[in-house]
Chain A
């Protein structure tokens, strides 16, 4: 890919900012915000995974958080005192992603003939089934510990390098949240890379064709069954990987982290940012994680300053403003904040003579 001067400068600036972001946030806003950044990255990964299913292939999935849950519980069960297993991170994380991928195919297979509203309802049910299973698998044999969730999950450890304790590198000291930030950033960049490569490929075009017109796609020789399953599997894999990272960061998982609200939240990131456009989805993820937190931290003090007392609980105000923001975006920018633009690919350069000679 060729980049012009301006965009390469922008890219370098962005890289530097991302590299120092945890230190900047730590210094300006406090350590809690670095943790929020970690979560933002997790949600971006989730949103990018869902974007493959919803944005690329056009399959509305309302139970996406189930794959996040599968990845998180896989990590939790294999790396905690629950069963006394302490498998290493580099086995457990891929295993969680793989298991989520299997679940993706399991969800995909019976829903191949469904579209639109019907697909949405089945996937919604699937998400709930997974959550309810996790909630109730504490009897007759205790597997998931039920609503109490699983505690004391092993921290992420790469070899002997633990991310859960402060580490000194290059003369700088990196607290745990910072270390997680860099790992999550690397994973997010990998997910972005995979998404970009897939979108601009034979597979990506097949997904787009199914999204646009399934009948025409199948008449053009696309095996819609396999291609749709592939979309479900890819999306679920990202979800599962993000789930494993989530469990490692939190050290604790319980079914209530994987409710319908979370699924809707991830879907909102995709739709609000701009379905099918990676930059838009990243923007959606950042906004929907950071804004509610900013409101949570800002709304109380602001009311104090303006009115002298807190009239509305910041927590309820958060949801109110969030709802209004969603409505505003849907009215003003129905294609999302950063909608996908028809890509004028670099590839075209060598073929431009075709256009100009006609």
Chain B
């Protein structure tokens, strides 16, 4: 059912290739503001597959327009947000997700910050504690020094 739709969209888009398409176009906007708002949120986490680091909402590429339309198509069909993302990643790969799934090796990416923070805080605490103890222990005066200090204080 979707194939003919995409095809017709591709055909529709072809004559416009000469003029660039500027991000989200007026004719793409859904009439239901709630669905449109969800589409815009999804558009922000999907990467344009052919551009350099733009999301599909910002991108001017034809394929981004197609993806925006697919997102809206799925939303109108009643998909939940995650179903839309699954649908698109199944076809374009995880490359199009700007926020990689927090599973498997990607956990390294997600846990670096919290783990580094805990290590740093722990390390700093231990360092400060040990230094205080060391300082408390180090400047012990021997008897001669103590006597000299007492002399100076009396002068």
Mutual binders A and B? no
Which B positions have Cβ atoms within 8 angstroms of A? none
